[in-house]
Amino acid sequence: MLRLLLALTLTSNLVIGALWWRQRDPSPRPTTAPPEAHAQAEPIRPSLRHDIPDTELAAYLTDPTPSDADAVARLRAAGVPADVIRLLIRPRVHARFISRWQALVERSAALPYWTPYRGLPDDLRREVSLLGREEHAALVDLLGDDAYAPEEGRHYHEAKLDFLPPAQRSVMRQLHDDYGDLRASLLAQNGGIFTSTDREVLNYLDREQDNEIRAVLSPADYEEYQRRFSPSASAVQRQLQHFDATAAEYASLLELYEDSPLAESVPSSPLAMSDSGNRARSQAWKELLARFAATLPPDRAADLTDALDRNFLQYNRFVQEFGLGSDTTRGLLRLDRSFRSQELQVRSDPHLTVEQRNTALTALLTQADQQLAALLPPDALAALPSSSLGRHLTFIRQRLAQPRP
């Protein structure tokens, strides 16, 4: 059944791809080639002629006589677009590996239902990964960079690997996936609880991954890779995840981080540190980010404060729900911080009587209502009570409506 499905898929893909190419090809279709074309043609590898009837096209393209390499050469000689060649050749490459894929499927199906695995066992998952890597390498051997579609491979690391050619990006992506699977397997086995032995294993995996990466990249590319993927880079990127930093701003914070004590001991996980250690590290980050903010122009420093605000995600989701822009998110964050700061000043002023305090708080509520009405459309304003600021304002109104003696 699997082989029958493969044959049907191969034939349909070839026909659809070639017909699609014919429809989108705006060039004229002469019935007789010019003399110079005959002089350059390869007699062993005829081009994909436009005069082949559609009814004969499937047989022409599924002819098993040419090797995969000859088929690629024939299609390229005919000027077939790379996207269509990839569509036509990929099933042929997959056919070479189909028996090995079938064996893995049968092994997976034979697993007893009572086994505790979530997904595939580690050894089987590793074999699946390696076979996929081998098959993709075979496609790259045939097509080179044309094996990669522009829209493919939007792996979450892919954008950060854009300084590498496509073939190396594929190798690096596979390395990240393989070592990521090993780390995930270790964490799953131990329920996320780290022991000293676990940390040694994780450190060993880090060293082995780094050795493999060094073997793949040139010294210059490895330096650029470190700027994007090193533990220091990852720590800085997590802090800047909501801040649209420029390349210069990112490099500046990375340099500050690497010169700080924070870079000397990077925990493999927050679970691997004590509560006091996590608090100390959090405080060190606050001080480092304050130093970084001091290097920025005032408007960028204000944007950084917004991005680091603990309410950023909540307000950003709220704003996106109503199709509003990032300026509205910033407006809500700054209004929230300003209101809470002024409220704290009023409540902590020992010279105010209860009546004076309530009057001042009522004035703050009125001012906040006016600002919110100017910032939000009516539908978003009506939904504001579900947000952190909305709940806080409601709470103050309720307290003011029932003043204590």
Burial (CB count within 10 angstroms: exposed 0-12, middle 13-18, buried 19+), residue 53 = exposed
- What is the structure's pLDDT at 120? 65
What does the pLDDT read at residue 87?
85
Contact 339, 389 (CB under 8 A): yes
Hey, where are the domains in the chain?
1-111+118-148, 153-229, 230-308, 312-401
Amino acid 56: pLDDT: 59
pTM (whole model) above 0.85: no
Computed on alpha carbons and rounded to an integer, the radius of gyration of the chain in Å comes to 31
Nearest to 92 by CA among 71, 113, 78: 71
* Regions of the chain where pLDDT drops below 70: 1-64, 113-120, 122, 148-159, 188-194, 265-277, 403-405
Q: Are 330 and 303 in contact (CB under 8 A)?
A: yes
Q: What is the DSSP-derived secondary structure letter of residue 268? A: S
Q: What is the pLDDT of residues 275-331, one digit of tens each?
A: 666 788 889 999 999 999 999 999 999 999 999 999 999 999 999 999 999 999 999
Residue 330's nearest CA partner among 239, 240, 237, 242 is: 242
Please compute, for residue 47, the number of CA atoms within 13 A of its CA located in the half-sphere on the CB side.
14
Q: Provide CB contacts within 8 A for 114, sequence distance 6+.
A: none
Give the pLDDT score at 221.
Answer: 94
Rounded Cα distance, 94 and 134, in Å:
10
pLDDT for 47 equals 44
Q: Which residues contact 390 (CB under 8 A, 6 or more apart)?
A: 384
pLDDT in the model for residue 334: 94
| In the block, residue with structure tokens 């304003």 | 381
